[in-house]
A and B are shown apart, each in its own frame.
Chain A
């Protein structure tokens, strides 16, 4: 009854309610509600970004504020793009990014598929699997260095127990060949649940009647999996990959605590490399240019990827 009156009134005077005075107008209120957020984001995100661009064209050093500021144009960018050290970190980042995504997608999807079988108590076990991703990466990464100790660490002990090799014969974070994998293992342990949860949302969004129809058509389970399950989950999976991809491109806290970029600079991801340039060598101008290059790379890759994602969704 009341609903009826409201809808009739709305139909009669669509703008009247919105413009209702008595206190502030909607327009004023909208701005009062939005402006603080925008201002804070401008002050703490956009203004610094512009400042970074400005700094990237200079030879400024934040530890020598009195030194004369010199405009160097695009020379910082030129030096970065030809610096072999930076290409090394780019390679380390690419290795980390590709393998964490491969493992997280495979394990995350499999787990989601299994959990979706709705066995008893699945929500409690799901929560336990999710625990690692809720924790502080720096604190957890720091503790994993203990688990990775050659003689006394739990990880080495378990590997030795299963495979029979001597637990003190290998050092996950000390060996140049193993260190890149040590960070992949911890990141996979920590973030697989994220991919799993998003896949689970995807699996649960598939309506039962599609499978029922396929069953009527006598499609085999195998065929149903490849023609219904996978295509329907794919947009969700791609979204999960996007989020993990962006996060892992920015990866800093976990790895800096785990390996500190070492041994040598074999696990020195771009963020760690950048931190070293900016806050240890204090090459502020140079590292500002570096930051801009990284930002443009993430932004560019993400936009291309989002276009591909939208195409998949349209199908």
Chain B
């Protein structure tokens, strides 16, 4: 009989399962609510009691991507019938679309800054992690601790001089400035995580390559890098998620051209309390991360604990 003392009984498994599933259902309720609200009409969104069943509409998304202005009945009559489905939605409220909103731009900024800083922190992080893992570096432990300690600063505390420094260098509100800043914040994580991954690759492979006449750099590039791909990929996801979600620096250091989505989304609400538009903006911004997390759960979950426990 396959019954060890450490294997939980059937009953225990059932009870544990029910409790965990119950908690999970409660925990995703707010997220489900965000997604659901995005497809409600403004009236349904603020109905009491909260509506579970409603007629889905894309009004929230139309309002998210457009700016609208009120039109008099005469102008509306002059315009003739609405040309597109989104025109039709807006006309119900005696409004006309006057142009695109800023959401698209902000979203693109998030993508540029997110991917730019991830690339840079992985590039620099891999080099540094390799050196720390393989070479004798003077003051190695101190340098590693220094790299880690940069994470203890509250963002607002560093924001004051960075604000002044960026103003001086003309980096305020630029993509480059934000990419450099997020790279610096992410470097501590990427160096620490990647060093852990590279430490696990046996040194013998490189030494064999060195004997075969590779230079040290070739050995790094052709032998170590391909083996570290999984580690690099999961570190990259963490860097990307951080840059994607960051708010404090973004709200203090950007206002126009380089503003990312997190400081922008709360401003969508405006005076009209347009909750469906906010929910639509939040949905488009959050859902990619949720899908990512579910698809890549094996690597991510390992990465979180791994990174934390290593430190």
A→B interface (CB under 8 Å): 2-3, 6, 9-10, 17, 20, 22-24, 26-27, 29-34, 36-38, 40-41, 43-49, 51-52, 55, 62, 107, 111, 114-115, 117-132, 134-140, 142-144, 146-147, 149, 151-154, 157, 167, 189, 194, 197-198, 200-201, 208, 211-212, 215, 236, 239-240, 243, 246, 249-250, 252-253, 257, 271, 274-275, 278-279, 284, 287-288, 291-292, 294-295, 298-299, 302
Contacts and interface: CB of A to CB of B under 8 A. Distances in A.
Question: Chain B interface mostly helix, strand, loop or mixed?
Answer: helix
Interface string B274-300: 010011001001100110111001101
A151 B216 contact: no
A137 B16 contact: no
A40 B34 contact: no
B216 A24 contact: yes
A130 to B, nearest CB: 7
Contacts of A139: 245, 261-262, 265-266, 282, 285-286
Contact of A137 (B13, B213, B247, B300): B247
A55 B180 CA distance: 23
Contact of B211 (A9, A132, A134): A9
17 contacts: A6-B207, A20-B216, A23-B217, A29-B135, A33-B130, A34-B137, A37-B128, A48-B158, A119-B20, A121-B17, A123-B301, A135-B31, A142-B266, A143-B279, A146-B278, A194-B304, A294-B154
Interface string B163-200: 11100000000000000110110011001000000000
Nearest to B128: A37
Interface stretch (B44-52, B58-66, B73-81): B44-52
Given A55-B160, A142-B278, A291 B154 contact: yes
Given A52-B158, A111-B23, A253-B262, 14 more contacts: A24-B215, A33-B127, A37-B124, A41-B146, A45-B153, A115-B20, A117-B17, A125-B20, A128-B24, A140-B286, A275-B156, A279-B163, A292-B157, A295-B153
Contacts of B157: 52, 274, 291-292, 294-295
A34 B247 contact: no
A26 B135 contact: yes
Closest 10 CB pairs of A and B: A23-B215, A291-B157, A138-B247, A48-B161, A44-B184, A119-B17, A136-B245, A33-B131, A117-B16, A253-B247
Contact of B244 (A43, A126, A136, A298): A136
Contacts of A152: 45-48, 50
A147 B275 CA distance: 11
Given A37-B125, A126-B301, A143-B279, A302 B152 contact: yes
Given A131-B28, A135-B245, A208-B4, A197 B217 contact: no
Nearest to A110: B19
Interface string B111-128: 000000000000011011
Given A37-B127, A114-B16, A127-B301, A249 B289 contact: no
B201 to A, nearest CB: 15
Nearest to A129: B24
Contacts of A17: 207, 210-211
A246 to B, nearest CB: 6
Contacts of B304: 130, 194, 197-198
Contacts of A24: 215-217
Given A10-B207, A212-B6, A138 B286 contact: no
A132 B164 CA distance: 34
Contact of B218 (A23, A33, A130): A23
B6 A211 contact: yes
B27 A189 contact: yes
Nearest to A279: B252
Contact of A62 (B155, B160, B285): B160
B30 interface: yes
A132 to B, nearest CB: 6
Contacts of A146: 37, 275, 278-279
Interface of B: 4-6, 8, 12-14, 16-17, 19-21, 23-24, 27-31, 33-34, 37, 45-50, 124-125, 127-128, 130-132, 135-137, 143, 146-147, 149-150, 152-165, 180-181, 183-184, 187-188, 191, 204, 207-208, 210-211, 213, 215-218, 241, 244-248, 251-252, 261-263, 265-266, 275, 278-279, 282, 285-286, 289-290, 292-294, 297-298, 300-301, 304-305, 308-309, 311
Contacts of A126: 20, 297, 301
B278 A143 contact: yes
A107 to B, nearest CB: 8
B184 A208 contact: no
A282 to B, nearest CB: 10
B311 to A, nearest CB: 8
Contacts of A47: 161, 165
A310 B7 CA distance: 32
Nearest to B25: A128
Nearest to A271: B156
Contacts of A37: 124-125, 127-128, 147, 187, 191
A291 to B, nearest CB: 3
Contacts of B131: 29-31, 33-34
Nearest to B110: A136
